Structures are given as structure tokens and as C-alpha cells.
Amino acid sequence: MTGRPFTFWRVLPLPGEAASSYFSRLVMDECAHLPELYASEIGINAIFRSEEVLERIFRLPISEQDKERLRYWTPLEKHGRIHLAGQVFGRDQFRWTRRLHCRRCVAETPYHRVWWHLQCFRACPVHECALEPLSYDLKKTGRWWPRFEHVVKERAVHVELGDAADTFESHIVRRLLDVSCQDSPSELSDFIECAPFVGRLLGNNRNPSIPPPSNKDWEVGYHALKGGLLPFEDQVRSWLRVNAPQSHAYLVRDLIGWAAEYLADEEELFDPEIDDLPNPMHVKISAIVRAECRRVLGR
């Protein structure tokens, strides 16, 4: 099939909307078919790739600006990584199969926000509630097409984060929305990787074994890192004051317990053939923690 995949294109792509959600809404506006059925009728694979969904949609005479918006918000897989909104995420950070959403966001404007696919995204920053499992296709696994109660045709909606609390999730959304951001493409992914470690260290007292993961790890880590590495250094210093060393303290481990094993190696022998690139943020964090420990140990 080479012609247009739809006879109408009255719905418009929305901020944070990937091609799969937009496709579902185009189908809803067209007919009563389920999106997965419609997709298979026009030859899109059950395990669809973003590229092919975009390709079908781009056959429609929609504006270049809308195409650009869809391209920006549609995750593309390249070399085992997910490229989305100018950022690059690891495979374990983004899951197509994640079936969570904020019911209240969808009730206000029915479309699927792509950041709900990020594994670290647990609470809606707008409504301050936990994301919930989808209520349809409960037994299905794998990639899925979102479904909605009704079609929204307005251009409308900015993502309103105005009064939203300053949370880890609100940071992610703001960061993804920032089209002009000049940071390195892995900056957000590195941040997401570092936040729970930092949160678990600073949010607990010294412990020889690693404390169980907790939701607060993300928030504590986010607030410790959001201001950059200088304020982080201060927080490590005050944590070390609160968790004062015992008299026999000699090693970094004596000061920070379990976390010593999770610091990036100082003289890490890095082989680009075998190893993933070290997370530069984790390397910097580790250096700060080590330096503060040395200061306390007096060497």
C-alpha cells in the first residue's frame, strides 16, 4: 500500500506524543477499528518500529512543523540505545512494553506521554499521583498501541508544569521539553543513572550493607544533584559530619560503608572494545566523595 494510510488527518501531534500514540488517535478519528488491527491492515508489523510508523504518517499532508514535532518525540532505536528528544537512553532506561500512565492526564487530554515509558518515571508531576497500569489488554505483553475514550482535535496543550512540585519527574519532563538544550545527549541518562545511588547514600545513615531500594532514593538523589556538583560536595560534607567516623576509621569504606564499592574506580582501565563508556557524572561524583573522605581521614 503506497497511498495515504488515512482519509482524515484532523488530529494534531501533541507535545510529548510519539508516533504510536498519534497513530492510535488518527485511527480513532478514522473508524472504529482497534489501532493494532488498523496497523496490521496497512502492513505495519505487530512489533512495530518507530521508523515505519513515522513513514506511514509522513505520507499525510501534515505540516513540516508537525512532522518535526513527531520526529522529536518518537523514540528511535540505534545501536542498542533509544534516541528521544535529543537525548540518548540505555535500553534498560526506556521500555516500549511499559504499560503505565496517569489517568488524570489522559482524562484531561487523551494522548500517551512518551516519558511514561522511562523506567525511572513513577509519579505524575502535574497531578502528584503514582502512575497506574493501563486498564485494557491486561494480558498482552510487548509493544502496544494506546487507546483513548475520545479524540482530541485541538492543537492546544502545553505541558503544564507551572505549579507542579519540583520532583525528579518534573525535572525529566522539563529537560525533555527543552529543545534548545546544549548539554551532551547522554546528560539526562547519566543523571538518571546517578540519582538513585546518590539518594541511597545521602538518604540513609552509614551502613555496611546496601539498604533496600526505596522510592525516596530518586527524590533525595535528584535534590542532591540538581544544583550541580558544588552543592553536592557540601551535602557529602554534611553527611560525613552527621555520620561521624569511628576512631578506627582508616578506609573510605569505614566512612561510607557499602557505597565505597559502588564508586567509579580511580584508575579504571578502560577498554573501549569491551566496556561501556564510563558514566562521566558517576566518575565526578565518585571523585568528590573520595576527596571528602580523604579530607576527613586527614590524608
Contact positions toward Zn ion, by CB under 5 A?
A: 102, 104-105, 124, 126-127
* Cα 200 versus chain centre, distance: 19
CB of 126 to Zn ion, least distance (A): 4
Distance (Å, whole) CA 52 – CA 45: 9
DSSP assignment of 236-295: HHHHHHHTPPPTT--SHHHHHGGGGGGSPPTT----TTTSPPP-HHHHHHHHHHHHHHHH
For 94, phi and psi rounded to 5 degrees? -130, 130
CB of 101 to Zn ion, least distance (A): 8
Q: Which residue number, 104 or 295, has a Cβ lying nearer to Zn ion?
A: 104
SS3 per-residue string spanning 25-88: HHHHHHCCCCHHHHHHHCCCCCCCCHHHHHHHHCCCCCCHHHHHHHHHHCCEEECCEEEECCEE
Residue 82's DSSP bridge partners are 77, 89
Residue 52's DSSP bridge partners are none
Question: Is residue 141 a contact partner of residue 97, using CB atoms and an 8 Å limit?
Answer: yes
Distance (Å, whole) CA 299 – CA 59: 66
H/E stretch holding 100: strand 100-101
Q: Which residue number, 57 or 102, has a Cβ lying nearer to Zn ion?
A: 102
Q: Which residue number, 104 or 216, has a Cβ lying nearer to Zn ion?
A: 104
Q: Which residue number, 104 or 140, has a Cβ lying nearer to Zn ion?
A: 104
CB of 249 to Zn ion, least distance (A): 46
CB of 132 to Zn ion, least distance (A): 10
Question: Is residue 17 a contact partner of residue 114, using CB atoms and an 8 Å limit?
Answer: yes
CB of 62 to Zn ion, least distance (A): 27
Q: Which residue number, 39 or 102, has a Cβ lying nearer to Zn ion?
A: 102
Query: How many alpha carbons lie under 13 Å from residue 57 in its C-beta half-sphere?
Result: 30
CB of 121 to Zn ion, least distance (A): 11
Q: Which residue number, 83 or 127, has a Cβ lying nearer to Zn ion?
A: 127
Q: Which residue number, 81 or 112, has a Cβ lying nearer to Zn ion?
A: 112
CB of 103 to Zn ion, least distance (A): 8
